[in-house]
Each structure stands twice: as structure tokens, then as C-alpha cells.
């Protein structure tokens, strides 16, 4: 525990953090949570050394896709071209119910196919 905060401040910060996590989970309820290839995508990520995002995050959280591409040394523009888009925002808007896990999983599947 930090010495410069009181126990009351700490309790307040913990409560705020818990509320923020719950808010994110509630926002993620509109996303598709179960899809057929999820286990395959997670095992593929494990093989490639990629950490998958939380399942309640939407695909508009593109930093996870960027991280995976950087980790694998792939130009994300090639993936976008194969998907028929020019920006990550366009890609996210094509499938608004898709979670970040599913988006990263599809990217990894694409990477393995092209490899």
C-alpha cells in the first residue's frame, strides 16, 4: 500500500476501479461472446506468443490488433487490404457485435494461412 494515501482514499479508489470494471463488462454484453473458433483462436495465440484481450472489449479497441501485428512483424495494411478496408476503423465498423478477441483471432488465422 502507498504510504501517502489514507485507508479511506484507498478504499475509494478500489471501489471506483471495481465500478469501472463492471461498467466495461456491462458494455461488453452486447458483443458476441461465444463463437465457433474461439478455442482454436486462443490456442493459436498461445502458440504464437500473443496475449488475447478480455472478451468484453469491443473490436474498436484496435490496439490489441496492432500489438499482435507488431509482435508477428506483419504490416497491418496487408491484412486490411485482404479484408477489403483501408483503416482499422472501417474494419471495426463492418462487424459492430464482434469482440476484440474474435478480431485478433481472425487476424491470427489470416497470418497462419499466409505464412
Q: Does 72 have pLDDT greater than 80? A: yes
C-alpha span between 74 and 108 (Å, rounded): 11
Mean pLDDT on 26-31: 76
C-alpha span between 38 and 32 (Å, rounded): 11
C-alpha span between 88 and 20 (Å, rounded): 26
Task: Pull the grid cell for residue 75.
Answer: 504490416
pTM of the model: 0.78
pLDDT of residue 27: 72
Say if 60 falls within a structural domain: yes
Say if 19 falls within a structural domain: no
Q: Does 113 have pLDDT greater than 60? A: yes
Query: Which residue range(s) make up the domain with 64?
Result: 31-114
**Total tally of structural domains belonging to the chain:** 1
Say if 52 falls within a structural domain: yes
Per-residue pLDDT reduced to its tens digit, 76-96? 999 999 999 999 999 999 988
Say if 92 falls within a structural domain: yes
Say if 6 falls within a structural domain: no
pLDDT of residue 91: 94
Say if 26 falls within a structural domain: no
pLDDT of residue 55: 85
Per DSSP, the residues of 49-78 read T-PPPPTTSBTT-THHHHHHHHHHT--HHH
Say if 12 falls within a structural domain: no
Amino acid at each position: 500500500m502507498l504510504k501517502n494515501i489514507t485507508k479511506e482514499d484507498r478504499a475509494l479508489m478500489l471501489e471506483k476501479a471495481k465500478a469501472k470494471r463492471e461498467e466495461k463488462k456491462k458494455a461488453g454484453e452486447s458483443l458476441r461472446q461465444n463463437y465457433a473458433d474461439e478455442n482454436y483462436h486462443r490456442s493459436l495465440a498461445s502458440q504464437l506468443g500473443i496475449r488475447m484481450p478480455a472478451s468484453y472489449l469491443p473490436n474498436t479497441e484496435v490496439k490489441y490488433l496492432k500489438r499482435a501485428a507488431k509482435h508477428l512483424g506483419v504490416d497491418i495494411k496487408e491484412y486490411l487490404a485482404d479484408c477489403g478496408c483501408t483503416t482499422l476503423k472501417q474494419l471495426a465498423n463492418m462487424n459492430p457485435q464482434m469482440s476484440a478477441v474474435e478480431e485478433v483471432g481472425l487476424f491470427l488465422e489470416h497470418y497462419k494461412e499466409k505464412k
